Structure 1
Amino acid sequence: MKPITERNPVPIAVIGLVLLLVLGLVAYRADDLPVIGGGTTYTAHFNEAAGLNTSSEVRVAGVKVGEVTKVELDRGKVKVSFRVKDVWIGNASHAAIAIQTLLGDKYLAITPLGGAAQDPDQTIPVERTDEPYDVTQAFQELGRTTGQLDTAKVAESLRVISATFKDTPADVRRALDGMTALSKTISSRDDRLARLLQGSDRLTGTLADQNGQFEALLRDGNLLLEELRLRREAIHRLLVATRALSRELVGLVRDAEDDLRPMLRSLDRVTQILVDNQRNLDKALATVGPYYRVVNNAVGNGRWTDGYLCGLITPELLKDTPYDGNTPPEGCMPPKAGGEN
Structure 2
Amino acid sequence: MTRILAIACVVALVLASGFLWLAPTSGTVVTAYFDKTIGLYSGSAVRVLGVKVGTIDSVTPVGGQVKVRFTVDRDVRIPASVHAVVIAPSLVSDRYVQLTPAYDGGPELPPNSTLSRDRTASPVELDQLFTSVDQLSQALGPSGANKNGALSNLVDTAAANLSGTGDSLNNTLKQLSSAASTLDHSKGDLFGTVNNLSQITSTLASSDQQVHDLTGRLADTTGFLADNRQQLAAAVSSLAAALTKVQGFLTDNKGLIQTNVDNLAAITKTLVDQRAALAEVLDVAPTAATNFVNAYDAKSGSIAVRGNINELTYPPVMMVCQLLQRSTPTQIPATLADLCKQIAPLLDGTLHLPSAADVLSALQQGKLPPLPLPLLGGGK
What is the TM-score normalised by the length of structure 1?
0.36
Higher helix content, 1 or 2: 2
Higher relative contact order (CA 8 A, sep 6+): 1
What is the TM-score normalised by the length of structure 2?
0.32
- Flag the structure with larger Rg: 2
